[in-house]
């Protein structure tokens, strides 16, 4: 699906949040970070608990802004939303923890948050060896 098709979908159906999130992802792939954040902001303005939009925003803070305090704050918001919306989704907790732990550049604040997120994944699915292995990584 091209960016123009997604843009048309966003114009015709402005309340359809998955199209806005996909549009943001495509802008990131095209290295158009400002447009990506505009799309994410549109989603979070009406849906404060959209996990995917928050995930993209935290990644933006890490990749482009290097604002680690704000990143930690938004990670807390993301974690709260995940607990509300996807409280039983161990894979989501694991994948988000893994993404940010790999990308944070050994920032202790962020690593502590990712470990908290990973602990929730382990609590939800204690038999999953990959989750336990990630703690050692």
- Predicted pLDDT of residue 62: 93
- Predicted pLDDT of residue 136: 86
* Tokens linked to 6: 């997604």
- Predicted pLDDT of residue 137: 78
> How is the chain split into domains, by residue range?
1-47, 67-137
Q: Which phi and psi angles does 20 have, rounded to 5°?
A: -65, -40
- Predicted pLDDT of residue 106: 87
Low-confidence residues of the chain, pLDDT below 50? 6
* CA-CA-CA-CA torsion sign (49, 52, 58, 61): negative
Rg (CA), the chain: 16
pTM above 0.75, yes or no: yes
């Amino acid at each position: 699906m091209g960016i123009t098709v997604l843009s048309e979908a966003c114009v015709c159906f402005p309340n359809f949040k998955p199209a806005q999130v996909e549009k943001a992802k495509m802008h990131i792939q095209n290295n158009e970070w400002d447009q990506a954040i505009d799309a994410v902001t549109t989603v979070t303005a009406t849906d404060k608990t959209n996990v995917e939009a928050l995930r993209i925003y935290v990644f933006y803070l890490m990749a482009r802004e290097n604002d680690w305090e704000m990143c930690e704050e938004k990670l807390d918001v993301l974690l709260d939303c995940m607990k509300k919306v996807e409280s039983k989704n161990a894979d989501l907790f694991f994948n988000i923890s893994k993404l940010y732990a790999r990308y944070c550049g050994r920032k202790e604040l962020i690593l502590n948050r990712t470990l908290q997120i990973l602990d929730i994944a382990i609590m939800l699915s204690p038999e999953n060896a990959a989750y336990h292995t990630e703690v050692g990584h």
